[in-house]
Structure 1
Amino acid sequence: MIKINIKGIISLFFSLFCSLLTFSQSQNVDDITVEEMAKKRQDPVAGLRSVYFQEVLLPVGDGIAQSFSIQPVWPFKLGKNLKLITYTIIPFQSVPGLDQLSHVPIQPTPLQEGGSSSASGLGNILFNGYFSSIEKKGSLSWGVGPAIQLPTRTSPILGSNRVSMGPSFLLSHAGDKLSAGFVVQNYWSLGGEAENKVNSFNFQYFAYYNLPKGWFIESNATVVNNWLADNGDQMLLPLGGGPGKTFKIGKSKLFYCAAAQVFYNVVRPEVVGSWEAVLQFQLIFN
């Protein structure tokens, strides 16, 4: 069970939604079909303003670890042909108690050693910034910038107490039916010892097959490798996917997208189970 202040989270969602909705209604939003938006949102540096709400379920020991995250994506124009896409992951996590819990990977942060007590609360916030060109040539998109993890966790089990940072790079190919790409990053803690020392490699892969009326099939997951863990317990490699749909409600200028995926963990630490489920809902403002 998640022991998080649900009322506080709902209040935060409502405030965030209202502020972004007010901002979006003041913008010039071009007419675009659901099918066109479904393809546009698959480009991570397309410049869309959106907010993701994501739930990850992962068996850990005799329980289920949960990570619910709010993920605002916001672009900024820096020059005639340069933009910055910011992508921030704010996780609220719940971890079952274990006798030995050492660097168990769960998106978006690796869990740290914490003894036998369970824990729930705010995890470490991960900020990603991608510099990219505004003018797109061909079907390829790219972005490069920093990944910065902030020590906002409310329990030692939920992450390091040090700032971690490193480079991040993404490449995406957009097609009419099939789109695919990847994000690769590695970040290190600035100091720290034992469970507070971080050296984490993340490889996110994504592929979409577009169907009529905004439907699509996707495979979107993150391979995590903790270089500091013992041999055999370093990597989490999920393979799988599931359906999704981009849609509108009424005459609103907002778009929405919902998706559900199930993965089999081909490679995993000993304490992690064989499956992983990801549920996602996205608000798209333009």
Structure 2
Amino acid sequence: MRLQSLLVLIAAGGLTGKATAQEADLAKQLSNPISSLISVPFQFNYDSGYGPRGGNKSVLNIQPVIPFSIDKDWNVISRTIVPIISQHNIAGPSGTQTGLGDTVQSFFFSPTQPTAGGLIWGAGPVFLLPTATDSLLGGEKWGLGPTAVVLKQDGPWTFGALGNHIWSVAGESNRSDINSTFLQPFISYTTKDAWTFGLSTESTYDWTGSQWSVPVNFTVSKVAKLGKQPVSFSVGARYWAASPDNGPDGWGARASITFLFPK
């Protein structure tokens, strides 16, 4: 989805109107990665500057988040990331590839209530599934490791961090092993009109190649309704503060639409 198209949808959705109490509450829940809210984001990212030919990559992440109740004290939250990728010359004159990338599946076991100090937390396993439809769209490795998130919501503010570490455990022997740490500190401010302003990084450290990838993201989102369906629209920009020698580089763009299914 192009940025212009998303802006048209935002205007058509009446996002400049007064938000209801439910929309403001949904906006706050969305700032919590492990809230008890079913959501299905479609997140589009565009980055450029790959390799010596300045290649580019577009990624549509389909990211369903589904919470399950274990008992009155515990929930388990399933977070899935399925990327649909289109890329051009990301490794020199490598041509164009389009298809599925590797899937990341996380499960967070989380208490139903915050701690006495107001902390919300969850932890569990993360799995890397080699679902890529082209060898240049994925690592061709199975992987697993731990994942955790901790955050606090104080009035309109939400701040915390999510992280995981993935080791490859099987897959094509001629491909590089995966030994990767992902860190996502975040902070956001949600208004009474259901606007949310967010700042985060999605940093990855490749222990095999000793390289950082650090995009800094700024996003603006708004919860509204399309008919009776609650949705969140978001646009944003990001800057690559650090990346491997083959890119990406400079500025990138992000836009998303998230369908919300409150209980």
TM-score, structure 2 length as denominator?
0.84
- CA 149–169 in structure 1, closer or farther in 2 if over 3 Å, else same: same
* Contact 1:125 1:150 survives alignment (8 Å): yes
Report the Cα distance in structure 2 between the residues aligned to 1:225 and 1:155, rounded to whole angstroms: 24
The 10-residue stretch of structure 1 (180-189 or 208-217) with the greater mean CA deviation from structure 2: 208-217
- CA 126–98 in structure 1, closer or farther in 2 if over 3 Å, else same: closer
Cα deviation digits, residues 100-154 of structure 1 (max 9, x gap): 5xxxxxxxxxxxxxx7243111111110100001123353110001110101111
Cα deviation digits, residues 141-200 of structure 1 (max 9, x gap): 100011101011111111122210100010011121211111111101114545342111
- Is 1:123–2:123 an aligned residue pair? no
Equivalent in the alignment of 2:30: 41
- Correspondence list, 1:220-239, <5 A: 220-229=200-209, 231=210, 234-239=211-216
Q: Higher strand proportion, which one? A: 2
Aligned residues: 237
Equivalent in the alignment of 1:169: 148
* Contact 2:85 2:101 survives alignment (8 Å): yes
1:255 CA drift (Å) = 1.7
- Is 1:213–2:193 an aligned residue pair? yes
* Contact 2:86 2:97 survives alignment (8 Å): yes
- Is 1:284–2:263 an aligned residue pair? no
- Correspondence list, 1:134-213, <5 A: 134-137=112-115, 138-192=117-171, 193-213=173-193
The residue type equivalent to 1:236 in the other structure is: S
* Contact 1:161 1:196 survives alignment (8 Å): no
* Contact 1:144 1:168 survives alignment (8 Å): yes
Report the Cα distance in structure 2 between the residues aligned to 1:89 and 1:147, rounded to whole angstroms: 11
Cα deviation digits, residues 51-109 of structure 1 (max 9, x gap): 01001111123232111111111011112311110000111112212555xxxxxxxxx
Report the Cα distance in structure 2 between the residues aligned to 1:227 and 1:280, rounded to whole angstroms: 31
1:280 CA drift (Å) = 1.6
Report the Cα distance in structure 2 between the residues aligned to 1:36 and 1:99, rounded to whole angstroms: 44
Report the Cα distance in structure 1 between the residues aligned to 2:252 and 2:174, rounded to whole angstroms: 27
* Contact 1:159 1:196 survives alignment (8 Å): no
* SS of equivalent to 2:226: coil
The residue type equivalent to 1:268 in the other structure is: S
Equivalent in the alignment of 1:17: none
Report the Cα distance in structure 1 between the residues aligned to 2:59 and 2:43, rounded to whole angstroms: 8
What is the aligned-residue RMSD (CA, Å)? 1.9
Structure 1 unaligned regions, length at least 5 = 1-30, 101-114
Equivalent in the alignment of 2:225: 248
* Contact 1:206 1:221 survives alignment (8 Å): yes
- Correspondence list, 1:89-104, <5 A: 89-99=81-91
- Correspondence list, 1:58-73, <5 A: 58-59=47-48, 60-61=50-51, 62-73=54-65
- Is 1:74–2:66 an aligned residue pair? yes
Report the Cα distance in structure 2 between the residues aligned to 1:126 and 1:42, rounded to whole angstroms: 20
